[in-house]
Structure formats: C-alpha cells, structure tokens
A and B are shown apart, each in its own frame.
Chain A
Amino acid sequence: MTALTPTAPGCPSGLSPVTARDTKTGYAGFVRDVGDEHAIDLVVRGAKCGGCLSKIEKSVSALPGVTQARLNLSSGQMRVRWTGPLAADRIAQTISDLGYGIAAQAADTGAADKAREERSLLISMGVAGFAAANIMLLSVSVWAGYGEMGEATRQTLHALSGVIALPVLLFSGRHFFRSAWAALRKGHANMDVPISLALSLAFGVSVFETLRGGEHAYFDAVVMLCFFLLIGRFLDARLRRQAHAAANALAAMQTSAVTRLTDKGDALSVAARDVAAGDRILLAPGERAMVDMRIFDGVSDVDESLVTGESLPRTFSPGMTLHAGAINVSAPLRGEALKVVEESLLSQIGEMLEAGEQRRSAYRRIADRAVSIYVPFVHTTAALACLGWLLLGASLPDALMIAAATLIITCPCALALAAPVAQVVAAGRLFRKGVYLRSGDAFERLAEIDHIVFDKTGTLTLGTPKLESMTLTGQPVPLDSPDAKAMLADAASMARVSHHPLSRALVTTAGPGAAQESVREIAGCGLEASVDGQTWRLGSANWIGTDKALAVASGPSLWFARAGAPAVQFRFVDNVQPGAADALNTLRAQGIELEIVSGDQNSAVASLAGTLGIADWTGEASPQAKVARLETLRNQNHRVLMVGDGLNDAGALSLAHASLAPGAAIDISQSASDAVYSGGLEAIPLILRVARKTRAIMRQNFALAAAYNVIAVPIAVTGHVTPLVAAIAMSLSSIIVTLNAMRLQIEE
C-alpha cells in the first residue's frame, strides 16, 4: 500500500463540506464479535465521490489489525472488521479527522425492513421481466402465425404461456394483491384494487379461452402489466428508503455515549439513553452535550451555535445550565443531568420534527389525487361495458372478456410510472449537483414556494470566522507582510491546541506548523503559554490588558501579547456565503419574498440583512420564536421554504411547507429537511427550478396517461382489444411517460 499523503479534509471533489471535528468516544458499546473478529457498523456523512471512498477505506484499512473496511457510497453505511486490541473510538476518530461526519449505526429494524422490501420488489420485478420476455416470445409466434397456425399448436403455446404466467402472477403479483386486500378490509380502495382486479380477471378469462380453444389469451398482458408496475413500485421504494436512511441520522445521534461519573469519581462511558436525571456527567473539551445539564464544576467556553445560532462561544461557570447539542470548547466541565435524554432539548426538537412530519404526510400528492379520480372511473366504465354488452345480447363470457380487456388496457401503468420516474430522474440530476433529496414528494411542495425564511449563521454566512485583518498599536499590518506572517505563526502555534472557533480561524490562515506544549486554556479569557521563559497570551482585550484606545472596534477579535512587545489585534469576520447575493437576486426576481430569522444578536443580523438587501429580519429568536414565526406565515397562506442548519432551526424546518439544510448542518436539521445541499446558496434557485420542472413533467405525464385512456377506452368498450393491441398500447404509454421524464435530465 502506498503511503497516504496528507490531504485537505473532506470530499476531495468539493461535493460536500467538511464536517466539524469533535472528540469521538463511546463507540466501544457498538462493537460486535464475529467469530474471532470484532465488527462495527458506522454511518459516514459527507462521502460523495470516489476520492472520499478510497481516502476513508485506505485510512481505516491502515489501522493496525483491520481486515475489512467497506463503505457503501449510496447509503453511507460502513462496516469495519478487525482483530486485536484496536479501539473502536480510534476508527471513528480516524474518519472524523479526515473531515467526515461519523456516527455509530443505531439498531434500526425499520431500515432493514425497507431494504428487504426493496430487495423483494427487485426480485419480483426480475421474475416478471423474465416471464414477460418468454411469454412475449410465444405470443409473437401466435400473432405472426395468425390464420396459418394450427389450432392445436396455438392452444399448446397458450397453455405454455399460462403455465409460465401462473407462478409469476402469484409471486410477483403478491405485492398488489396484499395491498389491495389490506385496503379493502379497511373499507376503501387504492390503486392496487383495480390492478389486482385486472390481473386476476385477465388471467381467469385467458385460462377459460385457452381451455375452450379460443383465439385470444392475455397471458402476455398480465405479466407485462406486472413488470411495468413493479418498475414504478421499485423506484418509489428506493427513493423512500434513501429518505428513511437520512432520517435515521437523528436516531444515530441519540445513540451517542455520555461519560458518567460514579460516586467514587470514576468515569464510565454509557449510552446517552441510559442517563437518568441527577446523574453526574463529565463533558470533555470537544465533546457534544447529549442531555441538558447544570454545571457544578469547571469553567469553560461552550459553542452553542447549533443550539442558539450565536456564532461565538459563551463562557459557562458553575450554576449555569447547558443545553443538549452544545459543544464544550476549552476545559472539562462536570455537571448534573437535569432530565433524561427523552426530555432534553434534543428530544423535544425530535418531537417537533415528528409533529411536522405528520402534518406533511397529510399533504395530498398529485399521484393520490389522480388515483382518486381514476379508480372509480375505470371500475364504472368496465362494469358498464359488461352490462351494456349483456343487454345487447352478448354471452356472459364475451361480456366478461370485454370488461377484462377494459381493465387491462386502462390499467395504470403510465399512471404508476408517471410520478416515480420523474422524481427519480430529477433526484438524480440534483444529486450530481451535490443536492441530496430526502423525499420524492418534496418536489411538489418545493414547486409551490413563495416565501423563504433563512437562518443566518452557517446558512447565509459561512458560519466559521475568518481572519480579516491585523493591527499593531492601532496601525493596520498587511496580512502578507513578513512581520505579519511571523506574528501569525507565533499566535497559531498557541492556537493549535484550542477548539475555540477564533483559534481555528487563526490556524486555518497560518497553515500547518508546530504547536506550543505549555499552553493553558483559561475559559472566558484565552490561552497562556510560557515560551523560553516568557509569557505569551492570546485572548480577549481585557485579559491581555491592552490599551482600549488602540482597539479597532466592531466584530470579534483576538489579542496576542508577548512579554515586552506591544499587543497585536487579530480581527475576524463571518463572511457571507460566496454567491449568496446572486442567488438571492435570482430568487427575488422570481417574486419570492425573503426573510432572515436568526438566533444571533440583533446587531449582527441587522448588518448582514443590510449587506444582502433583505428588509425583513428578526434577531435573537429562540427555537420557539422561529416556530411561531412560521406558524404566522402559514396562517397568512404563505408557502414557506425554511433554510437552516442549526438545532434551533430543526423545529422550524419540520414545520415549513418545504425545507432545505446545508451539508454542514447538524444531523438533526438534515433529517428535518426535504433536501440537503452542498456548496453555496446558488443551489436553492436550482432546486426550486428543478422542482417546478418536475411538477410540470409529472402533470404532463398524468395528462398523457389520461389522454391515452380517452383513446383506449372506446376501443376496449367496443370490444376491439386483441392481445396484440393491449401489448402495444401498454408498452407505448409507459415508454412515452418515461421518455417525457427523461427530459428532466436536460440542462437549460
């Protein structure tokens, strides 16, 4: 194996943003023993291309004792097997250090069920496809030999077709029969009722015709119907399973471990769900709080950006309450769990998500509306055709045959394919642009948007501060001057040991280098180190003891002081996302209203709103306030798109008519959204455009299916449907609908 060269973290193709690193602990509880090997199932987030795949697999394989490391790029699931004493935490840390999100895979029976359903649909589809091809082979000889073929030969070929069709009908058709039966027992009808009826009626009539030596048997139509319908069913199941996998990330987050302190003061790693109120918990630097806790020991800076939307850390001291989702930055904190995991903020947001999901599932999809018109129409037509022919003096078998032909030819192949094919093609196109869609029906909701609510930090801005300028005794120092570089290198050598966002920003600008060993982090103040007997300090102005008059105000800043030398000021800005202005202008030109609702301080929100020219803004909004704002907009009959990344946005995301989260968003927000985009805000106009186009294509497809029925029904009712006509009509309608959906691939 070639040595790994150090590379930039995250996806080398830039398809997905780098995930913030934190310390990985508690994976030991998820290790299984397989024979004499250990195995763990992980979920990797942010792996999008071949570069990610080989980077992750190679790094994990290089760990001592690893025998298998295989990542599924479609689902993000990774299975690692190893022998020997390697700790599972180290595997997780390795992947995290590469810049990817990582979680232990929760025991999730739902996902396994969905995967099994998809697999069984695929097998059923294969079986139906095999039978359709073979029966068609026999049917073509019957059609080609029409008038010349002997009756005995024809009957043999029909019988053979029937023998192939029967097991296929029972095996592949069971999906429809089961679903139709379940619906009928509850006293209503779904799409599967006419399908089941058409399949069994057509099969029964064909058996009857074969036995009495008739000319027409519809075995080919029966299996072909099965085949086409199963294609649509399979595509739909695959989209839904992908959506489910994303939702699962939330469960994965709650499987994380917590360090509990025993009465003797020993640290014990337990699953977050096993924590009880009153437990004493140790929160190490870099760790994310899983339960709400009251601090009783330790002083530390805490990054609450995902909870409150505030961009800079806040100092926590004993007596203060820390919410779940916050990340400890500087020093260990000891606290008492206030609630069990189920009652913590994280879970409350989880409940908000569920409420939103329920409301969303009440949305009536175009396909549902089409079916509700289609089902009674077809059944009435078939029944009327049967009755009409009986009244006109036809025999019962002939009348039934015509009813069956009506059901076959109007059977919703095109209808069943119309929506899933369009959604799959559109989702594929967005996927190549770095947009990962979570639900197929999201297209319909996204197409209706007329108002967008943005979160600020991490959505409109990059969310990570960036070094903007340096000043020395009130004079600006150009960042590329040798003096500046030397000072920056010294400051960065201290900053490298810290998790504080501003320290990280310094290190990012300074690039790789050595780290000081004697650095102490003093929460709320900064870093202190002794270098060659001198004291170096990097931190707030007050703590450094600098002259206030020399400070350049506005925005976050760090001061760096070496004994005897004047202090340097580093100033930082949270930059607006590149391309944000263009994207917002495009949206505005489409007549969409824009608004910012942020948890950050009013001054910060106001200045950003000014820069971007957004008149409507709200600052210092709590998660509940965001939810309330969305309720208000909803009551004003707005179709709101919420774009946000933080834990504080999750409730609002799930409540909005449609929602998007950037790829750097916390798992919980990603699972609350309809789609996750990577890259900048320019993805939003693209998503909306594709969504509107998808809706248009879906409507066209339903119109095509309806037009096809308008032509086909008279032919069927008048008794002119032969098996050949049925086969051609059925394939043609499905092919036209599929080709129309393919137009979504075309870029404007």
Chain B
Amino acid sequence: MTIIVYLIPVALGLGLLGLGAFIWSIRSGQFDDMQGPAYRILDDDDDTPA
C-alpha cells in the first residue's frame, strides 16, 4: 500500500497541471468569444494579421 504515497501526489499533480492550464486559458481570454473561433478556422486566408 505504500505505493499510494507516490501515486496520490502524482494524481494530484496531474490534476493541478490541468487546472493550471484551464486557469491560464481563461486568463488569456480563450473563453471570451465562444462563437468566433469556430468560424475563424474556416477562413482560408492565413496571412490575416491576428
């Protein structure tokens, strides 16, 4: 059972990593526009300044 001494922190660490990524994506405004990006990917002109 001593294995859980390693496994639980590893599991929590992975979870925290995901949480960190989520918070980063909110902070960088990726949730501000929920509709636009779905269309923007269809735009063929890649050289449009972003």
- A7 near B: Cβ within 8 Å? no
If A70-B50, A73-B35, A153-B1 touch, whether A54 touches B19 (CB-CB below 8 Å) is no
Minimum CB–CB distance from A25 to chain B (whole Å) comes to 26
Q: Assess whether B11 is in contact with A75, with CB atoms less than 8 Å apart.
A: no
Q: Assess whether A50 is in contact with B18, with CB atoms less than 8 Å apart.
A: no
Q: Assess whether A126 is in contact with B36, with CB atoms less than 8 Å apart.
A: no
Q: Assess whether B12 is in contact with A134, with CB atoms less than 8 Å apart.
A: yes
Q: Mark B1-25, 1 if CB is under 8 A from A, else 0.
A: 1000000100110011011001100
Within 8 Å CB of A138, what residues of B? 8
Residue of A nearest to B14 (CB): A134
- A144 near B: Cβ within 8 Å? no
Q: Assess whether B45 is in contact with A130, with CB atoms less than 8 Å apart.
A: no
If A68-B50, A74-B36 touch, whether A58 touches B45 (CB-CB below 8 Å) is yes
Within 8 Å CB of A126, what residues of B? 19, 22-23, 26
Complex Cα spacing A74 to B38, Å: 11
Work out how many contacts link A and B, with CB atoms closer than 8 A. 72
Minimum CB–CB distance from A414 to chain B (whole Å) comes to 25
Within 8 Å CB of A57, what residues of B? 48
Give the contacting residue for A50; candidates B22, B32, B40; CB below 8 A: B40
Q: How many residues of B contact A (CB 8 A)?
A: 28
Q: Mark A149-187, 1 if CB is under 8 A from B, else 0.
A: 000010000001000100000000000000000000000
Residue of B nearest to A71 (CB): B36
Q: Assess whether A61 is in contact with B35, with CB atoms less than 8 Å apart.
A: no
Q: Assess whether A119 is in contact with B26, with CB atoms less than 8 Å apart.
A: yes
Q: Is the interface of A mostly helix, strand, loop or mixed?
A: helix
Within 8 Å CB of B23, what residues of A? 123, 126-127
Within 8 Å CB of B22, what residues of A? 126, 130
Question: In residues 35-83 of chain A, which contact B (Cβ within 8 Å)?
Answer: 49-50, 53-54, 57-58, 61, 66-75
Minimum CB–CB distance from A130 to chain B (whole Å) comes to 4
Complex Cα spacing A607 to B43, Å: 48
Q: Assess whether B34 is in contact with A74, with CB atoms less than 8 Å apart.
A: yes
Within 8 Å CB of A637, what residues of B? none
Q: Give me the interface of A with B, judged by CB distance under 8 Å.
A: 1-2, 49-50, 53-54, 57-58, 61, 66-75, 115, 119, 122-123, 126-127, 130, 133-134, 137-138, 153, 160, 164
7 A-B pairs with CB atoms under 8 Å apart are A1-B45, A50-B38, A58-B48, A61-B49, A72-B36, A74-B35, A75-B33
Instruction: List 10 extra interface pairs beyond A50-B39, A61-B48, A130-B22, CB under 8 A.
Output: A2-B45, A54-B39, A54-B40, A54-B43, A58-B45, A61-B49, A74-B34, A122-B26, A137-B11, A160-B8
